[in-house]
Structure 1
Amino acid sequence: MTETSLRDIRWIFVLLAGYFLLQVGVRLATSHSLDLDEAEQVFRSQWLAAGYGPQPPFYNWLQYAVFQFTGVSLAALSVVKNLLLFISYLLYGLTARLILRDKALVAIATLGLLTIPQMVFEMQRDLTHTVAVFFSASIFFYGFIRSLKQPSFASYLIAGVGIGFGLLAKYNFAILPAAALIAALADARLRPRIFDRRLALAAVVALVITLPHLFWLKDNLDFATARTLEKMTASGNASYLMQVAMGASSLALAIISFAGLTVAVFAVVFGRTLRLSLASQSEWTQLLERMMLVFAVGILLLIVFGGAAGIKDRWLVPMLFIVPLYLCLKIEAAGAETERAFRRFMPVVAVIMIGVPATLYGSVASARFTGHYERLNRPYASMLEILRKQAEPAAILAGDSLLAGNLRQDIAGVPVVSVDYPGFKPDLSARRPILLVWLIAHKGENEALPPDMAQWLQANLGVSAPEASVIDVPYFYQRGDDSYRFGYAWVHQPS
């Protein structure tokens, strides 16, 4: 890519950099509390492991490394996520510039990612491992397209890094390089790039990156896959035909949910041009069509032979993130005029870039008017501050990982254990006192120590259930005197 080409699209990256900086600021201003995936990262950053459970460890490793330099903080969480997203958009834009000649279409393809709800909203709201999949897919896709168009050791190396990272991000990522390989093999013009000896470099790099986790996976396959398989195959007592029908319909709905808004925006922006361009073809549109087809067939095989009954839209990120680029390639293949469409598209981008951060903030801050509280409204830090005035805990036992992660970010150096995750077992035998904390969803519910926490105490410390207490703490952005109730207890082990 020439320096002139880079100057042509530099403004896109400046705009996106500003947008993701805004997202960091909004997240820090919204709430100090953590959502599910954020709390998981903080909780599991207490130790380094080759595997942690149902999700591969790429994001955990990355966040662990950052925390070693910065300390545990919400700022470090938010910066890591938004930096990964910015790099992903950057690579996507560079990929678009490789195969699109029209500068307006390069901009529309890149910023078109903002029209995918699962990526522009859900990834900001809480997701982490899916962000890692998008990041890895962007690396691989850039290396793959560059290997086809401008083959070099560097391009194959980039593809290999993307595959390695992707397999460490989510297991379903494997379908993307498989689909790309099959799609390229089907084209006689591209086939030599697949049989290039430099492909071995990509394979070796991917293997080296994933090797530590593969050794762990060999001995922990059931632990790593059971939860995901349970989600996918949850069809109740449905018959085989009903399970297949449920799986196929969930796939169709997931595709519509993922790509529907993007197609609708392009239809409004391009009007009749989009409809006419759907019949146009180029070698790149044909390649992406084959990739998407192979990906869909892979999911269908999982439904028919693997018992999958529920496909979630975010699972389609490794493939359908190419939809904006695919639509732009179709439009360019039709030779359509794009300047007017570009002028119509940019106001849509502006609305999204303002509306998404405003919605994320407003969904939490509006609780002071509506009384509807999100997880980010829960006052974990305020609760911990009050309890630490009673005694300084040497360790904390939390009722779940969400609570454990939220407590850990405000009490550095103190081990926080969660009863729902047995993989972290620090030595607590000589530590006293131990603080036990659990959530009480609604006032009036059973406020006694949960049975699973009592069992944990007996099994791990040989201690009977202590006397339970409750504490009510005002919500963040509370309406009136609304408060959230926590249960807690202190365990003082004998000397």
Structure 2
Amino acid sequence: MPAISAQTPTTRIKSFAARNPAMLFVLCYFAFQIFFLTMISNGAGVDDAEQLAYVGALQWGYGGSQAPLYTWINSIAGDVLGISLFTIYLVKFSMLASLFASVYFGARLLGLSRMVAAAGMLGMFMLPQISWESQRTLTHSVGGTTGCAWAFLAFAWHMKSRSWHSAALLGLGIAAGLLGKFNASFFLIALILAGLSIPSYRAVLLSRSTLAAVLAFIASVIPTGLWALAHTENLLARTHKFEMNAGGHFLLSRLHGEWKVFLNSVLFSGVALAFFGIAWWRSRRDRVTARSSATDAEKFVARLIWFALACVAVGVLVSGAAEVKDRWLQPVLFLSPLYLAVLLDRFIRSDLPLKRFAVVGAICGLIVIPGLAINMLYARDGEDPYIGELDYAKLFATTRAEGNYQSVVSDGPQFPGNLRLYDTSLTPVHMEMPNASARIKFPALFVWFGEDLNPGVMALMSAAGVPTPPTDVRHISLNFRNYPDRNEAVSYVLVPGPAKP
């Protein structure tokens, strides 16, 4: 009887790494970023400070027109690991790692080659909104794009498994995309349309098992949907940024919006398109009409990209949005490098262009590491240094020396989130929080930038029953860690409690 070889976990890991070096690179890359950025950081930027302000507050929805998934994950991680910058970075870079992994394994499950999957995954480092902005500042966009990647992976698995449980996971993946970022709906609609456009996939999507996907999706989104209906002012808080029907021009606003969709789609994938063009030109002698007719997987990836862009174009036409920023397209175009890798594989005889495309992607990712560190420590946002480098420790020590307080209240999340790093028991409150004034616990610290009275903070004080304007406002000047010659004026007032009736 032949001996059965048993692989140890270490052997299996080594075998996996040898077969999937690109995946190993991605996992090591983001693991390094977690510890590196935690080590060099002083405080959180605006988006991460918002997450610090919500940690520990699990609820069906949050303010600022933002979907809740990313905040849910941060809140759970904070409850388990504690409130810290390490937790914030752990969540962000773990989600980015899962985004890359989902693209890779989704492509493999669809039947694309290992080389195409690796090039498509590493090629995402050539998308500045993912390789740079997502690591530097973005939060909910990371959640939405990662949710879409999970939906892509779940779709690929369901096409292979065709079971009830894979269908349920597809429903959960689609829900994750929608709960990660509401504009991810364009990609998710395109995912279903692209699947229905391919006969072999359509047969699976129209089978009885799809009922499990529908039920899982509905069960996942109903609570947040009901919350949104009850808090429409919070859901629509930032819709002004779309500049719908700007200037009252019905046609011109839509034409401008469609132009921004086209322009920012090109800019979003510009670096990847440039290197694709170089690889295409350098391989002109090895170019063929096509290796064979397109596979279902290749058709699906192509249609998914184009259907998603078409959905955005229709959305602009219907809503009249005149502004479409490139970062809003992240959940729509994150698979564009995979599509470019598919084209290189189909129309060029050699694998060398694919390998170069993957290597360039990896190099772009490596360049981000020192660039991001320099940006966080020394770069300026206009005339001012990075807001995370402000001396929040001095603000905390000064205000604590003047008295105890249970809440930190401001017009934005910057102070409430960062002061929580020094006392995790503090209740953070800012204007975009639903029912913000009701969250204030006294004694409370009201704090804001500048020496003049802040209208938003005054409104919160008044709503909480505190007489305004306050007469005992104090001021402090906070320096930036690596720019001691630069400072920000900050005002604060310590309020023992609301006025007695």
Secondary structure in 1 matching 2:491: strand
Q: What amino acid is the match of 1:470?
A: H
Secondary structure in 1 matching 2:60: coil
Partner Cα separation in structure 2 for residue 139 and residue 103 of structure 1 = 19
Secondary structure in 2 matching 1:488: strand
Matches of residues 326-341 of structure 1 in structure 2 within 5 Å?
Answer: 326-334=339-347, 336-338=349-351, 340-341=352-353
1:155-188 CA deviation, whole Å, 9 max, x = no partner? 3233112111112111222222321222232233
Q: What amino acid is the match of 1:378?
A: L
Contact 2:344–2:354 (CA<8 Å) still a contact in 1?
no
Deviation at 1:350, TM superposition (A): 4.5
| Distance change >3 Å, CA 33–CA 187, structure 1 → 2 | same
1:107 aligns with 118
Deviation at 1:234, TM superposition (A): 4.7
Secondary structure in 1 matching 2:62: coil
Contact 1:139–1:158 (CA<8 Å) still a contact in 2?
no
Q: Which is further off, 34-43 or 384-393? A: 384-393
Tell me the matched-pair count.
Answer: 481
Deviation at 1:121, TM superposition (A): 0.7
Q: What amino acid is the match of 1:63?
A: N
2:479 aligns with 474
Matches of residues 355-434 of structure 1 in structure 2 within 5 Å?
Answer: 355-366=367-378, 372-426=384-438, 431-432=442-443, 434=444
Secondary structure in 1 matching 2:238: helix
Contact 2:171–2:213 (CA<8 Å) still a contact in 1?
yes
Deviation at 1:362, TM superposition (A): 0.5
Contact 2:70–2:140 (CA<8 Å) still a contact in 1?
yes
1:443 aligns with none
Matches of residues 338-349 of structure 1 in structure 2 within 5 Å?
Answer: 338=351, 340-342=352-354, 344-345=356-357, 347-349=359-361
CA RMSD, aligned part only? 2.7
Q: What amino acid is the match of 1:489?
A: V
Contact 1:123–1:130 (CA<8 Å) still a contact in 2?
yes
1:140 aligns with 151
- Of 115, 120, 129, the residue aligned with 2:140 is 129
Contact 2:17–2:23 (CA<8 Å) still a contact in 1?
no
1:191-220 CA deviation, whole Å, 9 max, x = no partner? 211211111111111112212112212323
1:487 aligns with 491
- Of 310, 321, 325, the residue aligned with 1:308 is 321
Q: What amino acid is the match of 1:467?
A: D
| Distance change >3 Å, CA 132–CA 353, structure 1 → 2 | same
Deviation at 1:110, TM superposition (A): 1.5
| Distance change >3 Å, CA 457–CA 104, structure 1 → 2 | closer
Partner Cα separation in structure 2 for residue 26 and residue 184 of structure 1 = 41
Q: What amino acid is the match of 2:417?
A: G
- Where structure 1 has 5 or more consecutive residues not aligned to the other structure, the ranges are 441-446
Secondary structure in 2 matching 1:242: helix
2:28 aligns with 18
Q: Which is further off, 272-281 or 297-306? A: 272-281
Aligned sequence identity (%): 24
Secondary structure in 1 matching 2:426: coil
Partner Cα separation in structure 1 for residue 302 and residue 395 of structure 2 = 53
| Distance change >3 Å, CA 350–CA 388, structure 1 → 2 | same
Deviation at 1:6, TM superposition (A): 5.4
The answer on 1:459 being equivalent to 2:472 is no
Secondary structure in 1 matching 2:27: helix
Partner Cα separation in structure 1 for residue 170 and residue 460 of structure 2 = 46
1:106-162 CA deviation, whole Å, 9 max, x = no partner? 321211111111111111011111111121111111121233344333432331121
The answer on 1:233 being equivalent to 2:243 is yes
1:51-86 CA deviation, whole Å, 9 max, x = no partner? 113111111111111111111110000001111111
2:107 aligns with 96
Partner Cα separation in structure 1 for residue 66 and residue 289 of structure 2 = 38
Q: What amino acid is the match of 2:452?
A: A
Q: What amino acid is the match of 1:211?
A: I
Deviation at 1:297, TM superposition (A): 2.2
Q: Which is further off, 263-272 or 205-214? A: 263-272
- Of 55, 60, 74, the residue aligned with 1:50 is 60
Contact 1:404–1:416 (CA<8 Å) still a contact in 2?
yes
Secondary structure in 2 matching 1:247: helix
Secondary structure in 2 matching 1:389: helix
| Distance change >3 Å, CA 423–CA 279, structure 1 → 2 | farther
The answer on 1:352 being equivalent to 2:364 is yes
| Distance change >3 Å, CA 95–CA 421, structure 1 → 2 | closer
Contact 2:119–2:355 (CA<8 Å) still a contact in 1?
no
Contact 1:364–1:477 (CA<8 Å) still a contact in 2?
no
